[in-house]
Chains A and B, each alone.
Chain A
Amino acid sequence: MTKTLTREDLLKAYRTMRTIREFEERLHTDFATGEIPGFVHLYAGEEASATGVCMNLTADDHIASTHRGHGHCIAKGVDPVGMMAEIWGKKTGTCKGKGGSMHIADLSVGMLGANGIVGGGGPLVCGTALAAKLRNQPFVSVCFFGDGASNQGTIFEAMNLASVWNLPVIFLAENNGYAEATSSKFSVACDNIADRASAFGMPGITVDGFDFFAVYEAAGAAIDRARNGGGPSLVEVKLSRYYGHFEGDQQTYRAAGEVQNIRDTKDCLMQFAHRVTSSGEIAQAELDAIDAEVKALIDGSVVKAKSDPKPTEADLLTDVYVSY
């Protein structure tokens, strides 16, 4: 059944995408100062994917993310202020400053964690999906992974397991065209990751990842199908990242002007704003107000992150193991 997006839904979608963009653009600037520890892999450009998927989910649904996980975290409901503190390595962070960018997790909102292991999310969501199935709970799990992870055995094993157990899992392939510095044209044998679905007896589709409405609708169909007992599916979202694999990547493997051309012609926020204002559903002033609020939120998060305390030596031995 087709879901109708209300005005509140549209405003929420824009706010989420703008929050991710502002968060990532700010990290791009601040990481260059050398003050932020560790690595960051930015999600800017891919906002419509995380937002379009997660707006179909509840807090009881789970997602597993990747090394490029900030967007997934924000879209799933993780507090951006806590995330910024986490990335700055501060005690007030989502994981008390001990995880950093690639290990942000918040089980209270169903976020199983960003993950430094490429392809590591597949087995995790099979676990949460199996738990939901055994408990007769109508919860689904989404595994975000990239074109690089699409070649990993863990993803194939997870797709096989999800299929034979008919688990409520959505394998969400974010194909941004590059695994680190290697073009998917050289490394993904079938070019379209969705083509691999049929080998596991599940449906596979491809969707335009620059278009929130396309992702929302396609992911919604996959999620509804899984929630109603229809089993797993593979949704390939074709999109692009605006920055390098990591901050500092010189991107010599990309054509000159490639990113700027995408920003100018396909940007998901630009497309979304044009659609909702030209249809009369949302006024430009409302979007402008969200922009200002989001900027204030991210500015505030950075100020707080800079001044918050770091973990102490005593914190090293806490949160190492979880008691069940």
Chain B
Amino acid sequence: MKHIHTIPSIGIVANPASGRDIRRLTSKALVFPTVEKINMIERLLGAFGAVGVEHVMMMPDMVGIAAGLIRAIDGHRAQGLQPWPVVDFVPMPLTDSPRDTQEAVRRMRAAGVAVIVVLGGDGTHRIVAGECGDTPLATLSSGTNNAFPDLREPTLTGLAAGLVATGAVPVSEAARRNKLLRVRGSKVDEIALVDVCVTRQMHLGARAVWDPATIAELFVTFAEPDAIGLSSIAAMLEPVGREAPRGSWVRCATSGLGVLAPIAPGLVTPVGIDEHGLLAPGRPMQIRTEQGCIALDGEREIELNGHQTYSVTLELDGPLTLDVPATLAAAVRRGAMVRDLIRSAAP
């Protein structure tokens, strides 16, 4: 039988590896340091405490986020400031790999957390989405090159997550359903939340797709002209909204006409286009490229050696994510932000 928390509980996943890839050398993205991630979690905890969240399940790690957070909690407590929720680290073995994120999310879900807050990039959210089921995610970009998570002040994301966790705002008013792309091969079944990019680069190498000249094919769940990254290539051809029941695909060319796309911070470059079209849900499209790599949400994950075929299918039943503006607006409508200052100040 599952152990379900009876007090409002929120999970936090912070990817220790995000914000440090090769794009800091090939574009103007900057390193996203561990101390900044810890500080973002402190801002979340402040918001959680203010709206009555009593318990947090935090993913542990080997590179300093957990250690820094323990120091921050001790310092906060010593100063006698507004209480934060109790933070428990998920008891689990660590591998210092994406498997840690998968395991942490599995355990948070089994414990019945109301919301999982994710700090990371598109790739981190992809890994969480593979395990979270219908537990809603509150997304936060810890990096500068992401389309899926919100680039938002964490205090506000924390408020929205806290209001949902405490029941002040129902999930039905707070969350929206996302799309996903499923990549299938004979031994492969993977998902992506924003884009599947087929690159002519032969090896997984430094993982991130950073050179537009190597892009052969692109499939996207949504394409917003004001989003940074690979999906912007599709967006500049034909925008597709996050909630539209379709995606799109592009086959790139090295000559001829192209579009100007902001594929990385400070890097706006023309990308040649051969053909493009819309992606209908449930209808697989074959990947044509035989030699290269398949990148999921911007990171090369599968090497193509010409011996296997792969398809990409748009699915409409991806993860739930909190719409922070909608959640906070609902909280105001419901009077959830009103406090009795005299009673609050009483000893």
Contacts and interface: CB of A to CB of B under 8 A. Distances in A.
Interface of A: 1-2, 4-5, 185, 190-192, 194-195, 197-198, 203-207, 211, 213-214, 216-218, 221-222, 225, 233, 236, 275, 278-281
A2 B25 contact: no
Contact of A214 (B20, B63, B207): B207
B6 to A, nearest CB: 36
A192 B29 CA distance: 17
A141 to B, nearest CB: 17
Interface residues of B, number: 32
Given A204-B20, A216-B205, 12 more contacts: A2-B211, A190-B34, A190-B35, A191-B67, A192-B20, A204-B31, A206-B17, A206-B21, A236-B20, A278-B303, A278-B305, A281-B202
Contacts of A217: 22, 203, 205-206
A4 to B, nearest CB: 7
A203 B23 CA distance: 9
Given A203-B25, A218-B22, A195 B303 contact: no
B24 A275 contact: no
27 contacts: A2-B211, A2-B214, A5-B202, A185-B62, A194-B20, A194-B31, A195-B31, A195-B35, A203-B24, A203-B29, A203-B30, A204-B24, A205-B21, A205-B24, A205-B25, A205-B31, A206-B21, A207-B206, A211-B205, A213-B205, A213-B206, A214-B207, A218-B22, A218-B206, A225-B25, A279-B202, A280-B306
**Would you list the 10 A-B pairs with minimal beta carbon distance, nearest first?**
A191-B64, A195-B33, A217-B205, A206-B20, A213-B203, A217-B206, A221-B25, A203-B24, A213-B205, A204-B31
Q: Is the interface of B mostly helix, strand, loop or mixed?
A: loop
Contacts, number: 93
Given A205-B22, A207-B22, A213-B203, A2 B30 contact: no
Contact of A190 (B33, B202, B206): B33
B31 A197 contact: yes
B26 interface: yes
Nearest to B203: A213
Main secondary structure of the interface of A (DSSP, over half): mixed
B34 A1 contact: no
Given A217-B205, A217-B206, A279-B305, A192 B64 contact: yes
A233 B23 CA distance: 12
B305 A280 contact: yes
Contacts of A222: 25
B303 A275 contact: yes
Interface of B: 16-17, 20-22, 24-26, 29-31, 33-35, 62-64, 67, 201-207, 210-211, 213-214, 303, 305-306
A281 B291 CA distance: 11
Most chain-A CB neighbours within 10 Å: which of B24, B25, B35, B214?
Answer: B25
Nearest to B21: A205
B226 to A, nearest CB: 25
A59 to B, nearest CB: 24
Nearest to B65: A191
Contacts of A2: 201, 211, 213-214
A233 B17 CA distance: 18
Contacts of A214: 204-207
B34 A279 contact: no
A275 B214 CA distance: 20
Contacts of A206: 17, 20-21
Contacts of A1: 211, 213
Contacts of B35: 190, 195
Nearest to B33: A195
A269 to B, nearest CB: 16
Contacts of A190: 33-35, 64
A204 B202 CA distance: 25
Given A191-B64, A194-B31, A203-B31, A213 B204 contact: yes
Contacts of A213: 203-206
Contact of B30 (A198, A278, A280, A281): A198
A197 B29 CA distance: 13
Residue with the greatest number of chain A CB neighbours at <10 A, chosen from B21, B29, B33, B305: B33
Contacts of B21: 205-206
A218 B25 contact: yes
Contact of A191 (B30, B63, B203): B63
A222 B17 CA distance: 19
A222 B35 CA distance: 24
Contacts of B34: 190-192, 195
Nearest to B95: A265
B113 to A, nearest CB: 26
Contacts of B67: 185, 191
Contacts of B64: 185, 190-192
B28 to A, nearest CB: 9
Nearest to B291: A279
Contacts of A236: 20
B60 to A, nearest CB: 13
Nearest to A226: B25
B22 A279 contact: no
Nearest to B17: A206
Which of B16, B24, B213, B303: most chain A Cβ within 10 A? B24
A138 B100 CA distance: 43
